[in-house]
Structure 1
Amino acid sequence: MVLIGDGLKICSSIDIRFCTSKDVFTDAAKGTTKFGLTSDNIKNVALADFWGEQRIIEQQQVIALLQHIANRLNNELITERELLRYFRGADVEVDGVWISGRVVYAALTDREINFVFDQLQVLVPTDTNKRNNDRKKEYADLSQTTDRFSVEIYSKIVELARQVAGPLRKPRILVVTAGARDPFADVDFYTNLFTEAGATASWFPINAAYQIAQQQRDTDKTACKQLPQLLAEYHGSYQRQRVYPQLMAELETFCQAGTEAAVNQLKRADAIFIADGKPSQIIQALRLQDGSASAELQQLDRMVKAGHIILAANSRASAALSGRSYQGIRTPMLTNGDSYSAMQFGAFDLPAPEGGCDKDQSCINGLAEHHLTFNSQGGLGLFPWGVLDSQLSEQGRQGRMIRLLHDSQSQFGFGIDENTALLVKLQATADNEQVIQFKVLGENGVFLVDNQSTETTGEGGNLTLKQVTTHYLTRDDTAELKQGLLRTQFADWKFAPNTMQMPMLVSGDIFERDNYRQLAQLLCLTQSRQADGKAVRVGQGHAITLYKDHSSHTRQGVYRQQGAEVQYCSYRNVLVDIQPII
């Protein structure tokens, strides 16, 4: 397995920030998405069934703003950035009252914004002088990518797939975009990227809409014709047949071919890459409505266990792999939340709230938008050894990982940083015991939590956690998990820090941005024995203490990449106490 923590920076025709120059791609490549404010598109935005009675005012304001912008554009197509600028910069008088586009936009939920933009998006044709359905495609160029860590991770997936394929042919890689709200948007990028990296790459168009249609086909032979409606219902994705007509046709053909054809396609693959997306949608793509594994998931599970396929997943798709049981304890799947809410309110075994639900009071089950939620039944069950999380350090998610392990009584958590991958290998010993080996690849590190020796008192916002065991492994460090015991090993090019400095280490807002990682790195690099932090809002919160004892070890080293030096500091058995501030 190759589990990626998101944040990979690849040069593409849509995002040239990571290219060696601005002239890597020609005009034949897709450089941006386009939007048209035609009367028909605006009429679709006004759909009363979508907005409902509770949001009629927001609907009317949005329509007034769009009509105002359309009058200025005179049928000109614009980019997403331009649409945002026009919308947020507009001021319109409605029934004698002036409304601000910036205020209206801030009041919209994620679901509403996506709906508006989908209804306005248009196909980007290859020839602007002709009316046809040939569209421009996004391309990637690894050789012109400035960030070599990102290139290294994608190249590693192809390298491992090549080992499965053998020397006689290119490795076959399937790309899954099932977790995306718009499952068509990144198809070109990923298939072209893996093709550029030396593989035969193709889209594996399994998603929630496909899986629902398969289950309906027994009673409704036209179910695959209903994919646009199913995409709207299960993905919140609209008008994709207008923007991506060829990909929609490919999805329908895949749907009509059925489960057996999908399984056969999996059997021929050497690797499968699951792009970032909502874990719940990835589960809906690979599990049936009763929660049982689909034929596609069963086949993938068999191939992963037998070592016949490389499984790679990016960001939240990695979290979706958690599940099954390890050492007699069910491994849950993390679905939502931030560290402050996690420590203050605990974890809830409930569906994750929708983004922006605080704005229109649509959050259900008494949850707020940032509450920590999880699925106790797990996700796909392909990674049973612990809870997985991504963008760990960059988003300050150490607190939510620790709290979820406590509340779900799980032992291990694996939090992967951005631009970093955790390589996972299953090995069997001579006496047929399973050993799981881990290795860190990429720019940053992996935060590991072992909850076995944690001491706790209190509950809810008054919960106190003491002696939580944590490790932070960086490039080339390894770990081995056997019979519930995790052993870590530092890379041989790293050495014990030789500084005698013992500064006072304090962070005022430890779970904001990457403050936790910065504090922990200072503790790692110096002779200080303790670092203190706080996570407080409106007078409520928790104090967090990181400290070393006799079992703690740290190692530092410098890695040279593209002429630059990257400094690492890894640690083992740094203990964490978290207690409420009274």
Structure 2
Amino acid sequence: MRISTLAVFLVVVIFQQNAVKSQEIDAKISDSANVNPQHYNLMLIGGGLQTCTSMSRHHCLNPSFSSQEKSQLLYKVTPERLAALQASAPFLRQSSVYKQNFLSVFQHIYADVRDQVLTKHQLKAAFSRVNTAALNGANFYAQMPADLFQAMLDFVEFAQLDAQGARLQEKVDLAQNKNRHAYFIVNQFAAMARAKSAKSKSPLIAVVTASSRDPFESADFYQGLFEQAGANVIWLPLDPAFQQARAMQDLGFAGCEKLAELHSNHGLFDRERIYPLLTALQRNWCQQPEKLQQVLREVQGVFFNGGDQSLTLAAMTKPDGSDSAELAIIRQRFEQGELVVGGTSAGTAVQAGGVFTQRPVPMLSNGQTGIAFSRGPFATAAPAQDCGLQQDCGNGLLGGDLTYQASGGTGMFNLGILDTHFSERDREGRLALLAAYTGTRFGFGIDEATALLVQQQANTANMAVIGQGGVFVVDSRDSIYKLQNNKRQVVALSHYLNHGDQMTYHNDDLLFSLRSNNVSLAGSLAEQGKWRQTISLACNNPSPQRWQLETLAFVIKPTEQSQFISDSVSGRCSYTNMAFGIEN
């Protein structure tokens, strides 16, 4: 008993210490950000918003979730689920021999784990235990066609219910976030939306999860995320299948009754069984779209999730590529200053579009820097996300090819191309190449757990950076793009802004206000990208810096107009007007 009492006492003390420390960090982040939520109406996040949830407890300071909250996806192999899978298109497309082998593998698995509820790891282990003269289960699992593999997981997913038969949901505990920058960014978006609400009441924020392959699975997280930030939240059941169903309805067909079939055409299966209320809501609003549109006329904020920006764009446009009624309402209210728009990762990339300096702004959709310099950009649909970097994905594309939508995305941000997960994935090269190749003046690369806040009016834009990393800006006004003997070279100007830094576009130029701060919570420099690491170690050094990354050679050189702000505490370096060159 004494040991138990002592243990409880120590847990309470640690909890209190962590709470005090978090409050101190939050205050420093907020003070150093120096941003007024009323001054911005667009938040562009670079992804990596590591959040404390019942399914991501490793992101929590002190996780305290109950068994009534969803902690992971679970699976159960039954004859009924297997029969449903056999009737699906991904299974029917396989050869007769493969079908026989598939059924044989599952017969072994069913005999092994009958009536057991499995984690994904346990399901994979069940495959590995199938080892006959004709079949190796581990290889079969690893080599299963991607569409069939995803269909298999969908059909054998176990519907998790509580004692009352209600679906278990993922729970968010934002206050317990280890990453306090992510905590601050989420609360900042809620504050921006609150500034649009009457008498500073709790704002109404709509979340769109269409970037996910399974938008239903992501709904709980984003609803909980902004509820934790003090907002009222509503999930919008928009996805590519919804827009296709609406188009069928407009032609006089019962498209909304075919949503399950349309979802399967996009590689999403059996969601009515797992998410009955959400799929029913989608069907209802498909049949009565005026309800959804009325919500969009009332909200103070709309937030787009991460995943695949091409899916988000398809969810916000009609099948012919024109604006959906929903996108038209969002754009109109956004331009009139009645609501704020935010996105993370793909939800950020999709906002690029419109026209800037009489040129269309493209939407970047895919690409690995080395392959981009080797093969050049492609103005076509991105390859499938599960296609390997060097794998032939059809249409003459490799999985790592740099692709873009020439006509852009939603167009909420028309100042330049948007890229995400930036420094962490060494994406400077692909952004600079696409900007130079397409003649786009600016490109903005946003790091993880970092946000670019924007207020655009006519030919002026005010911007601020908040978060763990920074924002890289490429200026291609005087850039050089050369292609000779399959060798590419890009020369341009770059800027990099950290937390608290601000910039303004006015009269065809960028003006900067750099501020030193000491609240960076990022990891070691070695984990943060070669470009950012090099700059941080040589901040204010007038000598050229050179390095090699895979097949590419990089060089950066300060100009007479270069300005540097170095922070000895955080190890970060903000700079402006740095010339650079990249070639393969």
Q: TM-score normalised by the shorter chain: which range applies? A: 0.7 to 0.9
1:90 is aligned to 2:129? yes
Q: How many angstroms apart in 2 are the aligned matches of 1:168 and 1:100?
A: 58
The verdict on how the C-alpha distance between 1:256 and 1:545 changes in structure 2, with shifts beyond 3 A counting, is: same
* 2:185 matches 1:149: no
Q: Give the equivalent residue in structure 1 for 2:46.
A: 5
- Within a 5 Å distance, the mapping from 1:338-349 to structure 2 comes to 338-349=368-379
| Partner Cα distance (2:117, 2:357) in 1 | 57
CA separation in 1, counterparts of 2:453 and 2:299? 19
Separation (CA, whole Å) in 1 of partners of 2:460 and 2:582: 32
- The equivalent residue for 1:499 is none
State the alpha-carbon separation in 1 of the partners of residues 200 and 556 from structure 2: 52
Which of 504, 510, 513 aligns to 1:480? It is: 504
> Identity of counterpart residues, as a percentage?
28
d(CA) in 1 for partners of 2:80 and 2:136? 23
- In the other structure, the counterpart of 2:466 is 441
- Alpha-carbon distance in structure 2 between the residues aligned to 1:156 and 1:411: 29
Contact preservation (8 Å) 2:245, 2:255: yes
> Residue 554 of structure 2: which of 544, 556, 561 is its match?
544
Counterpart in the other structure of 1:122: 158
**CA shift at 1:67, angstroms?**
3.0
Deviations 1:136-190 (CA, angstroms, capped at 9, x unpaired): 1111011222221111000001111111003253100001111210010111111
1:521 corresponds in structure 2 to 536
Contact in 2 for aligned 1:422/1:440 (Cα 8 Å)? yes
2:291 to 249, 261, 264: 261
Mapping for residues 414-425 of structure 1, pairs under 5 Å: 414-425=444-455
Q: Distance in 2 between matches of 1:66 and 1:514?
A: 44
User: How has the CA–CA distance of structure 1 residues 404 and 361 changed in structure 2, closer, same or farther, with 3 Å as cutoff?
Assistant: closer
Deviation at 1:359, TM superposition (A): 10
Give the distance between the partners of 2:377 and 2:76, measured in 1 at CA.
Answer: 43
- Given that 1:109 and 1:360 are in contact with CA atoms closer than 8 Å, whether structure 2 keeps it comes out as no
Task: Measure the CA separation in 1 of the matches of 2:342 and 2:60.
Answer: 24
Match of 1:497 in 2: none
Cα separation, 1, equivalents of 2:426 and 2:221 = 29
Residues 372 and 401 in structure 2, CA contact (< 8 A), matched pair in contact too? yes
Which residue of the other structure, out of 546, 562, 567, is the alignment partner of 1:532? 546
Specify the alignment match of 2:112 in structure 1.
72
**Residue type of the alignment partner of 1:118:** D
Q: Give the deviation of 1:196 after TM superposition.
A: 1.8
AA aligned opposite 2:275: Y
Conserved in 2, the CA contact under 8 Å of 1:64 and 1:92? no
> Structure 1 CA distance, aligned partners of 2:358 and 2:429?
25
Question: What amino acid is the match of 1:90?
Answer: R
Which residue is equivalent to 1:379? 409
User: Structure 1: how far apart are the matches of 2:156 and 2:274?
Assistant: 10
Match of 1:105 among 106, 127, 141: 141
Are the aligned partners of 1:109 and 1:355 in contact in 2 as well (CA < 8 Å)? no
CA shift at 1:542, angstroms?
A: 2.8
Question: What is the identity, as a one-letter code, of the residue corresponding to 1:438?
Answer: M
* Whole-angstrom CA distance in 1 between matches of 2:348 and 2:131: 45
Instruction: Judge conservation of contact 2:516–2:565 (CA < 8 Å) in 1.
Output: no
Residue 246, structure 1, aligned to residue 277, structure 2: yes
Q: Could you tell me how far apart the structure 1 residues matched to 2:473 and 2:121 are?
A: 39
Cα distance change on mapping 1:52 and 1:574 into 2, 3 Å: farther
| Comparing 548-557 and 440-449, the one that deviates more | 548-557
Question: Take 1:398 and 1:493, find their aligned partners in 2: how far apart are those partners?
Answer: 24
Q: Select 2:489's aligned residue among 456, 460, 464.
A: 464
Q: Given the two structures, how large is their TM-score scaled by the length of structure 1?
A: 0.87
Once the two structures are overlaid, the 10-residue window that deviates more, 443-452 or 61-70, is 61-70
1:60-119 superposed Cα distances (whole Å, 9 cap, x missing partner): 5444433323222121111223223433x33422xx324241x33333354333222111
Is contact 1:347–1:372 with CA below 8 Å preserved after alignment?
A: yes
Count the aligned residue pairs: 537
Mapped partners of 2:300, 2:489: distance in 1: 47
What letter matches 1:13 in structure 2?
A: S
User: Helix, strand or coil for the counterpart of 1:111?
Assistant: helix
How does 1:15-54 map onto structure 2 within 5 Å? 15-22=56-63, 24-47=64-87, 49-51=89-91
Q: Could you say what secondary structure the match of 1:451 adopts? A: strand
Q: Matches of residues 214-293 of structure 1 in structure 2 within 5 Å?
A: 214-234=246-266, 236-258=267-289, 260-293=290-323
Q: Aligned to 2:478, which of 443, 453, 458?
A: 453
Aligned in 2, Cα 1:55/1:575: closer, same or farther, shift over 3 Å? farther
Determine helix, strand or coil for the equivalent of 2:497. Answer: strand
What per-residue deviation string (whole Å, max 9, x for no partner) do you get for residues 445-497 of structure 1?
1111001111233347312223x111111100111112431222201658xxx
Q: C-alpha displacement at 1:557, in angstroms?
A: 2.2
Kindly state the Cα deviation for residue 516 of structure 1 after the two structures are TM-superposed. 2.7
**333, 348, 362: which one pairs with 1:318?**
348
Partner AA of 2:508 in structure 1: G
What is the DSSP-based 3-state SS (H/G/I as helix, E as strand, rest coil) of the residue aligned with 2:250? coil
Deviations 1:264-297 (A, max 9, x none): 1111000011111211111111111221111211
Q: Secondary structure at the match of 2:272?
A: helix
C-alpha contact 1:266 1:300 (8 A) present in aligned 2? yes
2:232 matched residue in structure 1: 200
Counterpart of 1:247 in structure 2: which amino acid? L
Q: CA deviation at 1:426?
A: 2.2
Distance 1:547 1:26, change over 3 A: same
1:53-68 superposed matches below 5 A: 59-68=99-108
Shift of the 59–351 alpha-carbon distance from structure 1 to 2, 3 Å rule, reads: farther
Once residues 543 and 281 of structure 2 are traced to their aligned partners in structure 1, the CA distance between those partners, rounded to angstroms, is 59
Q: TM-score normalised to the size of structure 2?
A: 0.87
* AA matched with 1:121: E
Tell me if structure 1 keeps the 8 A contact 2:465–2:501.
Answer: yes
Q: Following TM superposition, where does structure 1 have runs of at least 4 consecutive aligned residues deviating by more than 6 angstroms?
A: 359-362
RMSD (CA atoms): 2.4
Instruction: Write out aligned runs for 1:550-569 (5 A).
Output: 550-557=560-567, 566-569=570-573
CA pair 174-47 structure 1, distance change in 2 beyond 3 A? same
The SS at the match of 2:452 is strand
The within-5 A match list for 1:148-167 is 148-167=180-199
2:389, 2:400 within 8 Å by CA — same for their partners in 1? no
Q: Could you tell me how far 1:566 is from its partner in structure 2?
A: 3.4
Deviation at 1:523, TM superposition (A): 2.7
Distance in 1 of aligned mates of 2:345 and 2:136: 38
Would the alpha carbon gap of residues 208 and 100 (structure 1) be closer, same or farther in structure 2, given more than 3 Å must change?
same
Q: How far apart are the structure 2 equivalents of 1:233 and 1:452?
A: 43
Name the CA distance, whole Å, in 2 between partners of 1:568 and 1:357: 35
* Change beyond 3 A, Cα 1:471–1:63: farther
Three-state SS of the structure 2 residue aligned to 1:486 is strand
Paired residues for 1:294-309 under 5 Å: 294-309=324-339
Contact 1:172–1:199 (CA under 8 A) maintained in structure 2: yes
The DSSP-based 3-state class of the residue aligned with 1:122 is coil
Q: Distance in 2 between matches of 1:355 and 1:193?
A: 26
